[in-house]
Amino acid sequence: MESQKEAILMTLVGVAKCHNKPYCFVSQNKQLALLEKYHSWNISRRTLNRRLKELEADGYFIRIRRHIRGPNGDFIPRTTLYKFCGKFFNWLYGVKRWIGSIFSVFRVPKWAHNNSLKESKVTPGTLSFVEILWKSDLKGRASPS
């Protein structure tokens, strides 16, 4: 089971990857819904804010509060912008390497890419067997005339 901080970082990565940007601005309600759906973390908004503050203090991203002015001059809050820092990309690279090591047993060995099928390496018995099959297939077909 992963920690809440890792789940929050993966959620932010997923949102940013959807838009191919090194930043994202997602609402807290959407973050909570994504954490529940993909990571099975049902946390409160206060806990989310606490974890986001800790991640910002650790240097993973910078949070930029966004707002606009309303018609009467009041500030209307918008979603927070999460601008990723170098530590975040280092963490992401580490996750990629960890996942790559898990699936490394399924990779084709490097020597297999250089193996060639020259005629000298193929046994003559195999060639004659293939020729027999090829000739028998041609006999079964009607000749084009």
CATH number of the domain to which 41 belongs: 1.10.10.10
pLDDT tens digits for range 77-119? 888 999 988 888 888 888 777 776 666 655 555 555 555 555 4
Contact 4, 51 (CB under 8 A): yes
Considering only residues 134 and 25, tell me which one the structure prediction assigns the higher pLDDT.
25
| Three-state DSSP class for residue 63 | strand
- Polymer length in residues for the chain: 145
Domains: count for the chain: 1
Average pLDDT, stretch 41-66? 92
Q: So what's the pLDDT on residue 95?
A: 77
Tell me: pLDDT of 19 over 70: yes
Q: So what's the pLDDT on residue 73?
A: 86
Question: In Å, how far are 34, 54, 98 from 18, measured between CA atoms?
Answer: 13, 25, 22
Contact 93, 87 (CB under 8 A): no
Tell me: pLDDT of 144 over 80: no
Quick check: is 46 in a domain? yes
Quick check: is 19 in a domain? yes
- Structural domain that includes position 23: 4-106
Quick check: is 41 in a domain? yes
Quick check: is 95 in a domain? yes
Q: So what's the pLDDT on residue 53?
A: 94
